[in-house]
Amino acid sequence: MTSLRLDYVALTDVGLRRSTNQDSGYASGRLIAVADGMGGAAAGDLASAEAMNIIRELDRDLPDIDPMDALGRAVTHANARLGELVRHDPSVEGMGTTLEAMLWDGERFATAHIGDSRAYLLRDGELRQVSADHTFVQSLVDEGKITPAEARVHPHRSLLLRVMLGRDDNEADFDWVEGQEGDRFLLCSDGLSDMVDHATMEALLGSETIDLAATELVRHALEAGGYDNVTVVIGELTDAAADLDDHLSSSDRRPQLVGAAADGPRARTGQDLGHGETADPVVSRQGAIDPEEIRYAPQPPSRWRWARRAAVLLVLVGVIAAASVYGYRWSQDQYFVAESDGRVAVYRGIQADIPGLTLNTVEQVTQLQTDTLPEFTARQVRDGIGASSRADARQIVTDLESFAPEPEPSPSPSESPSPSPSDDETSSALAAAGQVHP
């Protein structure tokens, strides 16, 4: 069996739309890895750099340790480190990173995968995605609801179901991947896979050398818009006995570290990261909301989720209670004139029909019979006439009394009864007094 060597290249570009690179990439003869940090400009680069700096510690002799065990421990360690950073500085809560890592043991790769960064294999000219995205759209593809082509342009394609957040509830996938001579493995952030289609990727990854392939892939992502940071790490399995190609960047066999992990995460204003960095006030002036932050919106830390919901509920209940008290007090300052047992009465409160609720009480029942009023006016009374105050209500009653026939202690038969005012006159008289509601 041919002994195999891993040639490699790592390349990253901030892209055309972003001001910072939150991706990290690493490549060596043992390890290739990509981490795509998220959580906004404040923390995405910190998350990816911290995770990558822990993962790349695997790039050494690991005597008597199973590569998969070593990788598993490194991933657990990286996740714990993110949790520690969030506890130390709550302003970075919600930060996280994807991780794509392949550890070569001379015969096969131990791989770790979480998030939507991808691993591809180009073998015999054919490109195949080795990893399965931990995304909402991938779950739709798995259920047969949309096609992979539809997933690429889906509006929620960047929504992640799993990512390294420093918590216990997001597990990475671990697997062994066999390799053979001539295989080219491509690890990339979504800044590449979102911008360059599968066929183009397949053609470009087959370029004469892996260095040229990396350059061409990044260039195509930028030409397609370069909306995101784009990181490409390629490992190629070659015959270990073959001479090193002087034209390859890996011919010096030195590890290549790119992106946030190489630049060093920028310090957050007023925060000590525990590495002795000083705060950079420029960071805090980046006011715009980074769309990457939205990817985390559906996943607030579970321990706070219920507390936030409870707080919102409490505030709502408080608002409703305050409004009810205010509303009740307001209703009790209102008056109206209406009928009670056939007589004109002054009511306190408001006229409303709410089942189970009494919003008014009779304040005073007058001697005035509604029936004695002109028909139109009587109807107004039965419908209720609003008043602005108690005094106003009494004035309305006084006005109504003037429409009623005089008491008739000794009506003279010779006297013709004085004609009662017509409905129209009643209406206009009340209207003039400002008391009739239309």
In angstroms, what CA-CA distances link 353 with 218, 356, 357?
70, 9, 8
Shorter beta-carbon distance to Ca ion: residue 22 or 426: 22
Stretch that binds Ca ion, among 67-75, 124-132, 224-232, 371-379 (CB under 5 A): 224-232
Task: Say if residues 162 and 112 touch (Cβ distance below 8 Å).
Answer: no
CB of 24 to Ca ion, least distance (A): 11
DSSP structure string for 171-210? PPEEEEEE--TT-EEEEE-HHHHTTS-HHHHHHHHTSSSH
Shorter beta-carbon distance to Ca ion: residue 226 or 374: 226
Shorter beta-carbon distance to Ca ion: residue 97 or 370: 97
Show the CA angle centred on residue 301, arms to residues 296 and 302, nearest 5°.
125
H or E segment at 432? helix 423-432
CB of 38 to Ca ion, least distance (A): 7
Amino acid at 381: V
Residue 173 β-bridge partners? 113
Shorter beta-carbon distance to Ca ion: residue 13 or 36: 36
CB of 229 to Ca ion, least distance (A): 6
Task: Say if residues 157 and 291 touch (Cβ distance below 8 Å).
Answer: no
Task: Say if residues 7 and 210 touch (Cβ distance below 8 Å).
Answer: yes
Q: Is 133 in the site for Ca ion (CB under 5 A)?
A: no
Shorter beta-carbon distance to Ca ion: residue 174 or 227: 227
Shorter beta-carbon distance to Ca ion: residue 258 or 337: 258
CB of 37 to Ca ion, least distance (A): 8
Which positions from 26 to 65 touch Ca ion by CB under 5 A, shown as an x/- string?
----------x-----------------------------
CB of 211 to Ca ion, least distance (A): 23
Q: Is 228 in the site for Ca ion (CB under 5 A)?
A: yes
Per-residue tokens: 44:
């995405």
Question: Considering CB under 5 A, how many residues would be counted as binding Ca ion?
Answer: 5
R_g over Cα of the chain: 39
Helices 44-55, 67-88: crossing angle, 10 deg rounding = 150
Which positions from 322 to 351 touch Ca ion by CB under 5 A, shown as an x/- string?
------------------------------
Shorter beta-carbon distance to Ca ion: residue 7 or 45: 45
Shorter beta-carbon distance to Ca ion: residue 120 or 347: 120
Within residues 183-202, the interface with Ca ion by CB under 5 A covers 189-191
Stretch that binds Ca ion, among 223-231, 249-257, 269-277, 311-319 (CB under 5 A): 223-231
Q: How far is CA 119 from the centre of its chain?
A: 27
DSSP structure string for 17-44? S-SS--EEEEE-SSEEEEEEEES-TTTH
CB of 238 to Ca ion, least distance (A): 30
In angstroms, what CA-CA distances link 381 with 207, 324, 391?
93, 29, 17
Positive or negative: CA dihedral 38, 39, 41, 43 = negative
CB of 194 to Ca ion, least distance (A): 8
Q: Is 399 in the site for Ca ion (CB under 5 A)?
A: no
Binding residues (CB under 5 A) for Ca ion: these are 36, 189-191, 228
